[in-house]
Amino acid sequence: MDKEILQVVEQIKKEIFESYVSKGLVASGEFGRDLKVNDLGDRVTITAPHYVIQMEQGRKAGSFPPVSAIKKWIQDKNRTVGANIPEEAAFAIAYVMKRDGIKVPNKYNGGGVVSDIINPERVKRLTLDINKIIKAKILTILTQ
């Protein structure tokens, strides 16, 4: 992929990461480590952990989340932000998530981790920016 286009996409990734941090959603840091730009030659993608959709939109009620993942989240949260959540609470948290789901926005997650960065206005700007890069490359080729 073109270097300039990769720089544009890397900037978006950086802004998504900064959004995640500024919204106070860091527990283990896994999201930031797993947020990646992938240069696939003819295209470029940004990938994030599968749970980004829950960070963005919440989680509907009806199924138990994995208790082991909640225990890990508790350990990470206790370690990174000095929370004091007992690990024994994992099953109760999972039960409430099954029963009620998680609504976003809420008092702990205002939502918008990704959608504050990648929105219709941003997509329009990106389209214009990438078109400019491509036009400049074509002109360079034609004038050589």
- Mean of pLDDT over the chain: 93
Structure tokens, 84: 């004091």
Percent of the chain with pLDDT over 90: 83
Q: What is the pLDDT of residue 87?
A: 84
Could you tell me what percent of the chain has a pLDDT over 70? 100
pLDDT at residue 18, as a whole number = 97
Cα torsion 48, 54, 57, 62: sign: positive
Annotated domain spans of the chain: 1-59+105-118, 61-100
Identify the three-state secondary structure at position 72. Answer: helix
Q: What is the pLDDT of residue 1?
A: 83
At 139, phi and psi to the nearest 5? -60, -40
Contact between 31 and 128 (Cβ < 8 Å): no
Q: Work out the number of other CB atoms within 10 angstroms of the CB of residue 88.
A: 9
pLDDT digits (tens, 9 = 90+) for 41-87: 999 999 999 999 999 999 999 999 999 999 998 888 888 777 788 88
Residue 141 burial by CB count (10 A; 0-12/13-18/19+): exposed, middle or buried? exposed
- Reduced to 3 states, what is the DSSP secondary structure of residue 64? coil
pLDDT at 137: 92
Per the structure block, which two tokens stand in for 29? 């840091």
* Residues with Cβ within 8 Å of residue 15, at least 6 apart in sequence: 117
Q: Give the Cα separation of 4 and 10 in Å (integer).
A: 10
> For residue 135, what pLDDT is reported?
95
Q: What local confidence, expressed as pLDDT, does residue 86 receive?
A: 87
What pLDDT was estimated at residue 27?
Answer: 85
Place of tokens 């050589």: 144
Q: What is the mean pLDDT of residues 25-36?
A: 92
Amino acid at 27: A
Q: What's the confidence (pLDDT) of residue 11?
A: 97
Considering the entire predicted model, what is its pTM?
A: 0.85
